[in-house]
Amino acid sequence: MEKLRIAIYDRDVEYSRRLMNYLNDRYGKHMDVAVFTKKDSLLEESREHGFECIVTDDASYMEDTDVIRICEEETEDGFYRYSSARLLAERILERQKPDLSYGTGEGKMIAVYSPAGGIGKTAYALKKAEELDGIYFGMEDFCSLETKDYWMEQLLFLVREREENICEQMQQHLQWSDGVRVLPSARCFLDYRYMKKADYEWLFEKLREERKQSVIFDIGVGSLTDFQILDLFDQVLLLTSEEGRRWQKMQVFLQLIHQMSPGIRSKITFIPEGNLG
């Protein structure tokens, strides 16, 4: 995937460099960010090689390039100097790559699951989504991602209603979290209790038709209403632990899987706790 060329030009050079370092570190898969300390150098580089976006507090003579202006006050179309750099990254990607998460391709439906609590499942699911340039789909028992939009609750309703344009609506509500495209979990596992295997099967069919990237499902114990739902996934990443009680929970889970849906075992990849970092 071709990276976006982004330039930063601001009177505060140290501030510019902090922005650059953050964006390159967290969003380096999507953008290449450079800082300019002289406007003439920026304009010359822009004329010769071009930028997809310029982030600056001085937008004069930059009419031919998409500009995000750094502002001293919060405005609808500018970037407030003292707000989170994450918001700047999200704005750049939303403007330059609005269709980043969907298209045609060979993505997979991947489940991340563990009956052993406190093992770092959500962090691992986010890491896997970043590695695969995929979408994180939250099914936590309680949402741990910072968000004000719990649209997952609406999505679950739309799935049960078989809303045909559900992928288009989902695209509009995807958010960015540290360089990963995410749909945060519903606030509580109780929202998933009405979801049946047939509902997930229908949703997966829609996602397979319209997405190009893998979708990584972060599944909490309370959010999984039927073990046979796991059989719908292309791969189940099962996080394991050798710690006493966690190990015992894993054995009970595997026994139940063997009794209820033995075919799922062929899809399971065991991820030991020591390999999660």
The pLDDT tens digits for 70-104 are: 998 887 778 989 888 878 988 898 888 765 544 43
**Structural fold of domain 109-275:** Rossmann fold (3.40.50)
Kindly report, residue by residue over 23-77, the tens digit of the pLDDT.
998 888 889 999 999 999 999 999 999 999 999 998 777 777 899 999 988 877 7
Q: Is the pTM of this model over 0.75?
A: no
Contacts of the segment 252-259: beta carbons below 8 A, 24+ positions apart = 252/115, 253/115, 256/227, 257/227, 257/230
Contact indicator for 211, 102 with CB cutoff of 8 Å: yes
CATH class of the region 4-96: alpha beta
**Which residues make up the CATH 3.40.50.300 domain(s) of the chain?**
109-275
